[in-house]
Amino acid sequence: MKKITIVVSALILALTAIRSADAAFSVGGENGWQLSTDGIVDVFSTYNSTSKLPGGTRTTSLLEGNTTGYDQRFGVGIGLLPSVVGFNVKAPTTNGVDSTVRIGIYPTIQNKTANRFDTSPNIDFREIFYTAKGAYGELLAGRALNLFMGKNILTDMTLLTAGVVPGPDFRGGTTLGHIGSGYLYANFSPQIRYTTPDFGGVKVAIEVGEPYNISPDTAKTNSPRVESEISYAKANGDTSVQAWLSGLYQTAPRSDTAAARPGKDNESIGGAYGVGVGFSGLNLLFSGYGGKGLGMLSAQDGSTLAGLNQTSVDAGGKERLYWGFLAQATYKVTSSIMLGANYGQTRQEETDLDSQSRATLVLLKNSEAATTSITYNFNKFTQFIFEYTYAQNTWFDSAKQHSNQFALGTMFYW
């Protein structure tokens, strides 16, 4: 379960990565050096009432539940985005190149579950990278949000709220938003990335990153994980348009002693996309993804969730197929009040071996969630959010589990 805690505590999105240019204040040093800071304090109270977990041997539900009846749980903690303290150091512009270092510290606020007197926070140095930007484009090196499905997450309105409240096996500090019910978690990882200059709103990026285990039988990760993205964004007055297409590819050999397909390669191949338009306070978004060897929670679950019977390959070592989507609409009623609604699904397909093995293990077919929210901006740096989410899991034997979830929270930005 330690691996699960690590993965889910990593369900922290890179809002500060897009806010760092709007740091609250900066301090100038000698010879053109600058230090700036930005951050968020994020607190949500949540309540969820979840139906009982269906009996039998099946992949674990993302939702709270037991086999005897409804579960009810109240909690106070963080939403999908935890509290953040970010520091940015900018070097003097040299030969037309602007160089910046970003360090992001992401603490949770909850006490330890096993010991309520243990107030030590889970501090995660989620971001630590430098960028060098010039006429040639931008080079990034360090730990940052991956390209594949990165924009799918960053454009979800529940990035700034709670979304799905996970069950105990997946609870590591944050809620899930629509992770596992509309898109997969992109993860932060060590990488080297190049992004082209802006060509009329179009940018192309390519990333060479640290490889992951694709299956529980992965013997070694001797090939890099390669991700790419082409994006378009334009704004004119109160009208905006954005679109993107991202991809992922990686191979990894299986152990020579694996029970199935010894020595053969597993592959992770994925594509993600999205399109959004905005006009007069109304913003519409549709995003989605598909691929094989991915997972139901994070891109390339691999062996991480094997203890919960969730991996990206079947018992014969064959990669499963995955796909999902998210549809969303938000509307600014006034300059201070915004209404939002979205619906998403994450799905996997059974292999022939999976369907023949239902007597011993039933796979989760899809996880879906619908969220409605009201956001009130008290001022430029304080907002309050009320949200309702209906979440449901369905297995391949048609068994279902559902949850009604409420969240009330506040966020302070600087």
Residue 117 is assigned to a structural domain of this protein = no
Which CATH number fits the domain that encloses residue 204? 2.40.160.10
- pTM of the prediction? 0.91
Structural domain span for residue 379: 46-81+135-413
Integer-rounded Cα radius of gyration of the chain: 21
344-372 mean pLDDT: 96
Residue 139 is assigned to a structural domain of this protein = yes
Query: Does the pLDDT value for residue 334 go beyond 90?
Result: yes
Instruction: Provide the number of structural domains found in the chain.
Output: 1
In percent, the amount of the chain with pLDDT more than 70 equals: 91
The three-state (H, E, C) secondary structure of 305-369, written as one string: CHHHCCCCECCCCCECEEEEEEEEEEEECCCCEEEEEEEEEEEEECCHHHHHCCCCCECEEEEEE
**Sequence letter at residue 142:** G
Q: Which residue has the higher pLDDT, 408 or 8?
A: 408
Q: Are 381 and 414 in contact (CB under 8 A)?
A: yes
Q: Tell me the three state secondary structure of residue 4.
A: helix
- Measured distance CA(192)–CA(209) in Å, rounded: 6
- Measured distance CA(196)–CA(203) in Å, rounded: 6
102-115 mean pLDDT: 82
Q: Are 151 and 251 in contact (CB under 8 A)?
A: no
pLDDT band at 19 (very low <50, low <70, confident <90, very high): very low
Instruction: Report the mean per-residue pLDDT for the chain.
Output: 90
Residue 41 is assigned to a structural domain of this protein = no
Residue 21 is assigned to a structural domain of this protein = no
Question: What confidence score (pLDDT) does residue 356 get?
Answer: 96
Query: Does the pLDDT value for residue 341 go beyond 80?
Result: yes
- Which residue's entry shows tokens 């994020």? 42
Q: Which residues are CB-contacts of 1 (< 8 A; sequence separation ≥ 6)?
A: 169, 307
**51-82 in b/e burial notation, b at 16+ Cβ within 10 A?**
bebbeeebbbbbbbbeeeeebebeeebbbbbb
pLDDT band at 1 (very low <50, low <70, confident <90, very high): very low
Q: State residue 9 phi and psi, 5-degree precision.
A: -65, -15
Residue 326 is assigned to a structural domain of this protein = yes
Instruction: State the CB neighbour count (10 A cutoff) for residue 234.
Output: 12
Question: What confidence score (pLDDT) does residue 217 get?
Answer: 93
Residue 327 is assigned to a structural domain of this protein = yes
358-373 mean pLDDT: 96
Residue 125 is assigned to a structural domain of this protein = no
Query: Does the pLDDT value for residue 374 go beyond 60?
Result: yes
**pLDDT tens for residues 43-86?**
999 999 999 999 889 988 888 778 788 889 998 999 998 899 99
Residue 39 is assigned to a structural domain of this protein = no
Looking at 108-112, 277-281, 379-383, which range is the least confident one?
Answer: 108-112
271-299 mean pLDDT: 96
CA distances 3 to 6, 9, 311, Å, are: 5, 10, 13
Question: What confidence score (pLDDT) does residue 24 get?
Answer: 61
Query: Does the pLDDT value for residue 195 go beyond 80?
Result: yes
| Residue 5, H or E segment | helix 2-9
In percent, the amount of the chain with pLDDT more than 90 equals: 76
Q: State residue 30 phi and psi, 5-degree precision.
A: -75, 150
